[in-house]
Structure 1
Amino acid sequence: MPQRDLFDLRVAVVGASGALGSRIAHQLADQGARLLLVGRDEQRVRDAGPDAPVVVADLVDAGAGDLVAEAAREHLGGLDGVVNAAGVAAFGALVDTPDEVIEEVFATNVIGPAFLLRRLLPLLQESQGFVVNLSAVLAERPMAGMGAYSASKAALTALDRALASELRRAKVRVLDVRPPHTETGLVDRAIHGQAPRLPDGLEPDAVAARVVLAVAEDASDLGSDGFDG
């Protein structure tokens, strides 16, 4: 299997204040990667992440990618990879889910990542770098009571698979990650509704470690069956 040396790798971590984003950032930094941390709240990013430059940006803003690209050139001299660990959850039957909630779920989980990557792909093509998007097991197995959320993750996975084909000649690796339910606290921060009964989740540290290993292995897919637990 191909290997990617993580030392001195220039990586933007989006959603760097979250349970998975912050852990992925720390583990990349521990292996010598040079990071750019991206989030909506500068203080939360600095408190959660390793010592690295911070870009304050909202993923749903089409201009967020421009800010990240500019900061990557300024602080890192380019970009070798981007890890998108940002996302929101919403629960409940579709008929009971307000329009604005559906819109926000797709804006954050699908449209925002597409906006971001449109602006970062030129840098990644220069470096023959990589993209990591954190989707979810729901892209494989949608659940009742999680229709909009499941659909948004399935759409993100579809985007990743299309991008993998588009970018093959440019030698940019696209890694779609679909972890099982993980104890990140996301269900307690849902923007709507209450989560259905879920099994005990995986530990965020273990999930983050598996993602970083997949990056080092230069993997192109990490489905739910690729995680222990």
Structure 2
Amino acid sequence: MDWKNKVVLITGSSIGIGRELAAQLLDKGACVVLNARNASRLSQTLQAFQEQGYQGIAAVPGDVSNPADCARLVEAAQQHFGRLDVVVNNAGISAEGDVGELSPEVFRKVTEVNYLGSVYVTQQSLPHLRESRGTVFFVSSIAAFRGIPGHAVYSASKVALKTLSEALRVEEEQHGVHVGIAFVGFTENDPQKAIYDKDGVLIPQPSRDFVKQEPVGVVAARIIRMIERREARRIFTLLGKLNGFANRFMPVVAGRILRRSYHQRKEMG
């Protein structure tokens, strides 16, 4: 796939996987539309890329949980570059807390960003992607294979992306649109990454040093290869593959492992 002058819209691209995707695609000659809710951080990311000499880049602030913002985002991308070839639904937020203690507002916020945000952006993009016979891509998680205790709302939002992509793939075959999804494992934290606590307050992402984390550059490169090869789905990391296998063929064992891990975390506080 020749990325030169291809136009890629990446939601949640001011930090983390989204920002790394943008960097690697710009290196390949693509034009990139950045997006994030935090306008100040998005502006800093845009400036950093421009200072590196990148030309084919634009930034459109907006909240993907707001349908009107999604419409403006896609319209701005089309107006700026005149076409749209790839949309990467990467924006996401997590939350930590048991179902019984999470504020209803946390369930709403996580669902609106992780799931409905991808729906809204995809709906607005499909007319343009049909014209270019392009790609709509979803960044999901290995949490989509089984609900993780203490992270139920995040798991639910990621499995929703799985079923959405499966249905959309069949619907868009006739239009030549490629639909892909990546089930990403534990990835290096961006220092600026935040999650919701049980009351809906944003707090720094807790350390995940207890598990091996994949470099963000490796994750981004794998996503790009999937788009280039028009792959439908892939599970990242050995842990992710083992998780998928265990939940499919040994669900009782997988359940026991999750219960043990959950109770150990509770005991440690």
Normalised TM-score (structure 1): 0.90
Q: In the alignment, is the contact (CA less than 8 A) between 1:39 and 1:45 conserved in 2?
A: yes
Q: Where do 5+ consecutive residues of structure 1 fail to align?
A: none
Of residues 91, 101, 107 in structure 2, which corresponds to 1:96? 101
Instruction: Tell me the SS of whatever aligns to 1:37.
Output: strand
Of residues 141, 147, 152 in structure 1, which corresponds to 2:146? 141
Q: In the alignment, is the contact (CA less than 8 A) between 1:179 and 1:227 conserved in 2?
A: no
Instruction: Note the aligned Cα RMSD (angstroms).
Output: 2.3
Are residue 223 (structure 1) and residue 228 (structure 2) matched?
no
Range with bigger deviation, 70-79 or 36-45: 36-45
In 1, Cα distance between equivalents of 2:13 and 2:219 = 15
Classify 1:125/1:44 alpha carbon distance in 2 versus 1 (closer, same or farther; 3 Å): same
Instruction: Tell me the SS of whatever aligns to 2:179.
Output: strand
Displacement after TM superposition at 1:5 (Å): 2.3
Classify 1:107/1:173 alpha carbon distance in 2 versus 1 (closer, same or farther; 3 Å): same
Structure with the largest fraction of helix = 2
- Number of matched pairs: 226
- Post-superposition Cα deviations, 1:26-69, rounded to whole Å, max 9, x if no partner, equal 10110011111111233322333534111111111111221122
Instruction: Tell me the SS of whatever aligns to 1:133.
Output: strand
Normalised TM-score (structure 2): 0.78
Of residues 21, 24, 27 in structure 2, which corresponds to 1:30? 27
Of residues 53, 58, 66 in structure 2, which corresponds to 1:61? 66
Residue matched to 2:133: 128
Residue matched to 1:10: 7
- Post-superposition Cα deviations, 1:90-140, rounded to whole Å, max 9, x if no partner, equal 012110111000110100000111111111111111111101111111012
In 2, Cα distance between equivalents of 1:215 and 1:153 = 19
Residue matched to 2:202: none
Q: In the alignment, is the contact (CA less than 8 A) between 2:142 and 2:240 conserved in 1?
A: no
Classify 1:90/1:80 alpha carbon distance in 2 versus 1 (closer, same or farther; 3 Å): same
Instruction: Tell me the SS of whatever aligns to 1:156.
Output: helix
- Post-superposition Cα deviations, 1:139-172, rounded to whole Å, max 9, x if no partner, equal 1233111111101100111111111111011110
Of residues 182, 189, 194 in structure 2, which corresponds to 1:177? 182
Q: Please tell me whether Structure 1 or Structure 2 has the larger radius of gyration of its CA atoms.
A: 2
Q: Where do 5+ consecutive residues of structure 2 fail to align?
A: 51-56, 199-204, 242-269
Q: In the alignment, is the contact (CA less than 8 A) between 2:185 and 2:240 conserved in 1?
A: no
Q: In the alignment, is the contact (CA less than 8 A) between 1:179 and 1:224 conserved in 2?
A: yes
